Amino acid sequence: MKQPHVKRVRDLVDGVLLLDKPVGLSSNDALIKAKRVLNAKKAGHTGTLDPFATGLLPLCFGEATKFSQDLLEADKTYETTVHLGISTNTGDTEGEAIATRDVHVTRAQIEAVLAQFRGPIMQVPPMYSALKRDGKAYYEYAREGITLEREARPVTIYTLEFVAYEAPFLKLLVTCSKGTYIRVLGEDIGNALGCGAHLNALRRIQVGALTVDGMVTLETLQANAAPLSMLAPVDALLSSFPAVQLTDELAKRFLNGQRLALGKEDVAVPEQQGRVRVYHGAALLGTAILQEFSILAPERLIAFKPA
C-alpha cells in the first residue's frame, strides 16, 4: 500500500548566510540547497550570480528577507578575468565562440581603454540575461535564435582597476552600481581594444557593506553539526545604517507603527536624517526613516514584541 506523502515541517529560521557560491550552480539552486540544510521555512537571495561565477551570495532567512531589497540596490565589487581575443554568444565561458581575433595590446593601451569605462556609462543588457519582455526572459529568446533590440541603461563603474595582464588574460577589480553586467563590461573593453573578449572568471567579493569575511561554502554548511550557528544575525544586512536605541515604552509604540518625536525623548538621535536601524536593548526592532525635527517613522518591522 502506497504511503501517504508527509509534508516536511520547516523551521522558523532568521538570519543571513554569507555563501561562497561555487561554479556551475545557479543562485536559486544554491538557495534551495542551503534552505534544505537549515530546514528553513522562508528564504531568498539578494541578487543573482551567473552559474559560471563564484563568490559572495548573501542568503536571507525568515525576518532577514524583509531587508533583502537593500542588498539588491547595493553597490557590488568583483574580481574578474577577461579573456581577450575570443568573443562568445553569452559573453562568458558558458557560450560558444563566435569570433576570434589576434591580440596585440600594451599595458598603456589597456589603461587608456579602462579610463573610458570609469564613472557613469551607458550599457546595453545582454540577450543572455533574466530580464523580461512580454513575460518572457531574454535568454529564452536568445536560445530560439532571436535577438531583440535593447535600450542602453545608465550604470556607474566606481572602480575599474588593472590587476594583471598575462596575454590573453586581463585581470581586473570592479566596483559598480546595481544593474551592471560585468560580462558586458568585459565585452565592451575587448571591443574598445579591437580584439573582442569574454569573461573567463568572475568572483564577487563585496555586496554593500558585506564582504568575504565569514563566508562559508555549501560543503562546510552541510558538514556542520549545528548549521544554524553559521548564520549571521538579521542586522548584518543593516550595519551601514546608524542605530537608534529605544526605551521600553517607545519600543512598544514603534512596533505598533507609531511615528515617534525623538526630540522630546531621552534618546540619542543620529545627526543625519535618513534610514536607521532601531533596537530595544540587543533586539532589532526594524528599520525606520529619521525625518526632520527628529521624527522617527517606522519602515520595516521585525515580528518581535519586547517583554
Burial category of 296 from C-beta neighbours within 10 Å (exposed 0-12, middle 13-18, buried 19 and up): buried
H or E stretch covering 60: strand 54-61
164 beta partners: 171
Alpha-carbon Rg for the chain in angstroms: 23
Residue 98 CB contacts under 8 Å (≥ 6 apart), including other chains: 87, 88, 89
CA distance 25 to 49: 9
Is 50 among the residues known to form the active site? yes
CA neighbor of 296 nearest in space, from 249, 257, 247: 257
Grid cell, residue 233, equals 544575525
From the candidates 50, 70, 188, 235, give the one annotated as an active-site residue: 50
CA distance 60 to 44: 5
Which residues are the active-site residues?
Answer: 50
